[in-house]
Structure 1
Amino acid sequence: MLLSQKLCYKYALITFMFFGIQGIVSTGGALDTVFPDFPNPVPFIAGRSFHLNISIMWPLFGITGIVYYFFGREAGREMYSLKLIEANFWVFLVTIVTILGSFMFGFNEGIEYLEAYRPLKLGVAVSICILFYNLIRTYFVARVPKSRATLVSILAGSFTLIVFFLPNILRYAHPVAEEFIKFWVVHLWEEMSLELIGTGVLAAVVVTLPGIQRTTIENIIYLDITVMVLTGILATGHHYYWAGGPFYWIWVGGAFSTIQVVPTLLLLYSIIKTVKLQYFFQLEQREKIAMAMIGCSMFYHIFGAGLMGFLMAIPAINKYIHGTYITSAHSHLAVFGVFGFLVLALSYYIFFSEIVLDKSSYWLSWAGIFLLNGGLLIMSIALLVAGGLQSHLWYVVGLTVGETNQAIFPWLLLRLAGGLTYTTGSSILTYIIIRKTWSNFSLCFPSLKQLEQQRKLELQDLHAGFQQISIAGNNLSRVLRRTKVLLDKYLKLK
């Protein structure tokens, strides 16, 4: 195992901790939506900002550790700087905690999903810049072909994280311009940047499975990159129309949204064609859990993000469902269903690389996955029905917003039940990780000094091994020369 990979355990740990916190906070928000008069220590606005921002930040934090874990392995060498990996962890962690904490004290800029004060956004910018710099320096000295698709995909995604985020640090006089730029993070991070990174790291996992040929996967990845960049940028157009842009944007966005599911279908098709189901049962326990969550991510990617996103982007439909609970259902399925499950799967895979996964934790993990899926589906179905009723009661029946809210109350109650189920699942998985960390703290938080000493010892062992081989070679050479002399004497005497 590379030393840089040992620094990724704590990324996985904090990812699960943020994930567990998000479940608890979101349940509180759902409770406040159903029972607005119920005493709540956190104001709704602060809680909503907290929920929206943590839903972006914990997958991004997790994907940072995941990239460090797999990029070095794909590059065939250690990451350029272990110190930068360590610095990246603490800068990003402090930034996220400060942003989330500031919401609780009422510091809010009012830009949905990007409510953090601009000085705090600089912390996010610094974090993703450190990530890209470490990756590109490693890429330049990689011991594999520079054209390796997994490396190119991860680098492209990491670079676009910076490109789309930096403009959001600036201020804009016109609110339409500010809304346009906002969707570069809210939509393009998900639909392009994280797609590219996720495809790269997922391929890095898949190529280790029996029956998978790297060349097949890499050909698919290059096609996926092309489609992701084209569709990701133009499909964002359906947001521009509602932000105040020209009418043609809703048609451009709708047209290219129909193609966005193609990259996932291509990757899924290549995996199905090359991997046999029997291989799944031959995997280790942690790999089975990880592959199960990756399977969940694929499912929601196709149906929750792809198919539903396509239907919602059709202008004739989008006109009536925009701003309803249907949008909320799509957001839950696309953000958590796709990237949440993928980040959890790979973080779980990383965390249990050296830490032993005991039998009770294994079965609890399956229970957590089952509850997460059950809760997510219950929430999404309830929100879909509530959103459909909103559209019908507003536009067809002509009810007021207050009357409509009374009519959809049972479905919001069901949504709360789904949230409680989801939170139970997230709490179980978080508990497993924290419990294992407690008994493996030194492994999860190794010091750089210890790792450097370990590297020196390994180098010394290698040097000693080469010396032994050299000595053995010299001895063998002398034996062969002595044998030749004796053989010559023997032939002369004969």
Structure 2
Amino acid sequence: MLTSQKLCYKFALITFLFFGLQGIVSLGGAWETAFPDTPIPIPYTAGRSFHLNISIMWPLFGITGIIYYFFGSEAGREIYSLKLIEANFWIFLASIVTILGSLVLGFNEGIEYLEALRPLKVGIAAAISILFYNLIRTYIVAEAPKSRGTLVSILAGSFTLIVFFIPNILRYSHPVAEEFLKFWVVHLWEEMSLELIGTGVLAAVVMTLPGMQRSTIENVLYLDIIIMVVTGVLATGHHYYWAGGPAYWIWVGGAFSTIQVVPILLLIYSIMKTVKIQYFYQLGQREKMVMAMVASSIFYHIFGAGLLGFLMAIPAVNKYIHGTYITSAHSHLAVFGVFGFLVLALSYYIFFSEIVLDKKSYLFSWIGILLLNGGLLIMSMALLVAGGLQSHFWYVLRLTVGETNQGIFPWLLLRLAGGLTYTAGSSLLTYVIIAKAWSNFPLCFPALRQLEKQRCLELKELHNGFQQLAGTANNLEQTLRKTKLLLDKYLKIKP
């Protein structure tokens, strides 16, 4: 294991803590949606902002640790700076905690999904900039080929995180400009940047499967990169239309939204074509859990982000369902499909690299995954029906908002039940991680000086090993010369 990989345990731990917290907060929001008159200490607007922002931040935080864990092994060397990894962790964590805390207290910019005060967003920009700098310095001196698809995909995704986020820190005189740029984060981060990173990391994991050929995956990976960049940029167009852009954007966005499931389908096809299906039955406990979450991610990616996203992008359909609960169902499924379950899977993989996964934790993890999937499906189906009824009541029966809310109340209750199931699953998974972290605290938060000292000792041992090898080779060379001289003398005196 690389020394830099040992700094990634705490990224996985904090990711699950934020994930568990998000489940609890989302349950409160679901309750207030069904019972709006319930007195609560936190206003609905503040709770919603908190929920939306933590839904973006915990996968981003998790993917940072995942990148550091896999990028070094794919590059064939240690990450450039351990100190920058450590700084990256604390700056990112402090920024997220400050943003979430300020939103709960009511400090809000009023830009949906990006409600955090602009000065606080600088911390996020600094964190993703440190990440890219550390990666590019590692890439420059990498022993692996510079054209390796996994490295290119992760670097491209990491760089575009900065490109799409920085403009959202600035102020603009026209609100439409802010709405346009907002979707560079809300949509392009999800449908391009994080998808590029996730695909590159998933490909790196897939490389470890028996029978998997790097050339096969990398050929598909480059095609995936091209498709993700083109479709990600142009599929965002349907958001531009609803923000006040020209009418042609909804057609451009709709057309390219249909192609966004192609990259994951190509990767699945390559895996299934190369790897024997029997191998999956021989996986260890940790690997089975990871594969279950990856499979969940693929399912929601195809049906939640892909199929439902395609239907919603059709102009004639979007006209009637835009702003209904159908949009909420799509966002929940898309978030978990594109990167949510993938981040959980790989964070789980990292966390249990050295920590033992016992039978109890394994059983609780399976129950947690089943509850997560069950809750997500119940919640999404209820939102889809509620959204369809909203559209029917508004546009066909011409009911008021109050009458509509009364009509969809049973489905909001079902959504609440789904949210309760989901929260039970997220809490159980988080409990498994916290329990193991409590008994393995030094492993999760290793001292940086100790790691650097250990790294120096390992390098010194490696250097001494090479010196001994060189000395052995020198002795062997001298022995061969003496043997040759003796053999020459023997041949000369032989009658």
Shorter-chain TM-score bucket reads: over 0.9
Looking at structure 2, the residues matched to 385 and 2 of structure 1 have their Cα atoms a distance apart, in angstroms, of 49
State the Cα RMSD in Å.
Answer: 1.4
Q: Deviations over 1:205-259 (max 9, x none)?
A: 1111112111111111111111111111111111111111122211111111111
| Aligned ranges 1:415-454 → 2 under 5 Å | 415-454=415-454
| Aligned ranges 1:74-473 → 2 under 5 Å | 74-473=74-473
Shift in Å at residue 480 of structure 1?
Answer: 4.0
Of 457-466 and 242-251, more deviation after overlay is shown by 457-466
Q: Deviations over 1:131-167 (max 9, x none)?
A: 1111111111111111111111111111111111111
Q: Deviations over 1:95-128 (max 9, x none)?
A: 0000000011110111000000000011111111
Contact map agreement 2:290 2:345 (CA 8 A) in 1: yes
Q: Secondary structure at the match of 2:151?
A: helix
In structure 2, do the counterparts of structure 1 residues 27 and 473 end up closer, same or farther at CA, with 3 Å as the change threshold? same
Q: Secondary structure at the match of 2:357?
A: coil
The letter for the 2-side match of 1:394 is W
Q: Secondary structure at the match of 2:20?
A: helix
The letter for the 2-side match of 1:250 is I
The letter for the 2-side match of 1:67 is I
Of 477-486 and 446-455, more deviation after overlay is shown by 477-486
Contact map agreement 2:190 2:338 (CA 8 A) in 1: no
Shift in Å at residue 414 of structure 1?
Answer: 0.5
Contact map agreement 2:54 2:100 (CA 8 A) in 1: yes
Looking at structure 2, the residues matched to 462 and 243 of structure 1 have their Cα atoms a distance apart, in angstroms, of 59
Shift in Å at residue 336 of structure 1?
Answer: 2.1
The letter for the 1-side match of 2:309 is G
Of 271-280 and 371-380, more deviation after overlay is shown by 271-280
Q: Secondary structure at the match of 1:460?
A: helix
Contact map agreement 2:301 2:336 (CA 8 A) in 1: no
Looking at structure 1, the residues matched to 280 and 271 of structure 2 have their Cα atoms a distance apart, in angstroms, of 12
2:4 is equivalent to residue 23 of structure 1: no
Q: Deviations over 1:159-191 (max 9, x none)?
A: 111111111011111111111111111111111
Structure 1 stretches lacking a partner, 5+ long: none
The letter for the 1-side match of 2:206 is V
Q: Secondary structure at the match of 2:221?
A: helix
In structure 2, do the counterparts of structure 1 residues 488 and 222 end up closer, same or farther at CA, with 3 Å as the change threshold? closer
Shift in Å at residue 482 of structure 1?
Answer: 5.0
Structure 2 stretches lacking a partner, 5+ long: none
Looking at structure 2, the residues matched to 305 and 20 of structure 1 have their Cα atoms a distance apart, in angstroms, of 23
Looking at structure 2, the residues matched to 77 and 60 of structure 1 have their Cα atoms a distance apart, in angstroms, of 24
Looking at structure 2, the residues matched to 489 and 57 of structure 1 have their Cα atoms a distance apart, in angstroms, of 78
Of 276-285 and 48-57, more deviation after overlay is shown by 276-285
Q: Deviations over 1:66-98 (max 9, x none)?
A: 111111111111111111111000000000000
Of 373-382 and 350-359, more deviation after overlay is shown by 350-359
Q: Secondary structure at the match of 2:396?
A: helix
Q: Deviations over 1:270-317 (max 9, x none)?
A: 112112221112222111111111111111111110011000100000
Q: Secondary structure at the match of 2:156?
A: helix
Aligned length: 494
Looking at structure 2, the residues matched to 52 and 347 of structure 1 have their Cα atoms a distance apart, in angstroms, of 21
The letter for the 1-side match of 2:89 is F
Looking at structure 1, the residues matched to 486 and 144 of structure 2 have their Cα atoms a distance apart, in angstroms, of 48
Looking at structure 1, the residues matched to 40 and 235 of structure 2 have their Cα atoms a distance apart, in angstroms, of 39
The letter for the 2-side match of 1:413 is L
The letter for the 2-side match of 1:145 is P
Looking at structure 2, the residues matched to 469 and 254 of structure 1 have their Cα atoms a distance apart, in angstroms, of 63
Looking at structure 2, the residues matched to 473 and 95 of structure 1 have their Cα atoms a distance apart, in angstroms, of 55
2:59 is equivalent to residue 51 of structure 1: no
Q: Secondary structure at the match of 1:7?
A: helix
Q: Secondary structure at the match of 2:137?
A: helix
Contact map agreement 2:379 2:414 (CA 8 A) in 1: yes
Contact map agreement 2:302 2:337 (CA 8 A) in 1: no
Looking at structure 1, the residues matched to 475 and 151 of structure 2 have their Cα atoms a distance apart, in angstroms, of 45
* Aligned-residue identity in percent: 81
Instruction: Look up the match of 2:37.
Output: 37
The letter for the 2-side match of 1:451 is L
Q: Deviations over 1:410-440 (max 9, x none)?
A: 1100001111111111111111111111111
Looking at structure 2, the residues matched to 239 and 471 of structure 1 have their Cα atoms a distance apart, in angstroms, of 67
2:61 is equivalent to residue 61 of structure 1: yes
The letter for the 2-side match of 1:193 is S
The letter for the 1-side match of 2:395 is Y
Shift in Å at residue 483 of structure 1?
Answer: 4.5
Shift in Å at residue 473 of structure 1?
Answer: 3.3
Of 469-478 and 259-268, more deviation after overlay is shown by 469-478
The letter for the 1-side match of 2:381 is I
Looking at structure 2, the residues matched to 107 and 366 of structure 1 have their Cα atoms a distance apart, in angstroms, of 39
Looking at structure 1, the residues matched to 338 and 193 of structure 2 have their Cα atoms a distance apart, in angstroms, of 14
Shift in Å at residue 363 of structure 1?
Answer: 1.5
Looking at structure 2, the residues matched to 463 and 264 of structure 1 have their Cα atoms a distance apart, in angstroms, of 43
Looking at structure 1, the residues matched to 52 and 152 of structure 2 have their Cα atoms a distance apart, in angstroms, of 30
Looking at structure 2, the residues matched to 417 and 129 of structure 1 have their Cα atoms a distance apart, in angstroms, of 40
Contact map agreement 2:297 2:339 (CA 8 A) in 1: yes
Looking at structure 1, the residues matched to 61 and 485 of structure 2 have their Cα atoms a distance apart, in angstroms, of 68
Contact map agreement 2:375 2:419 (CA 8 A) in 1: yes
The letter for the 2-side match of 1:262 is V
Looking at structure 2, the residues matched to 40 and 275 of structure 1 have their Cα atoms a distance apart, in angstroms, of 52
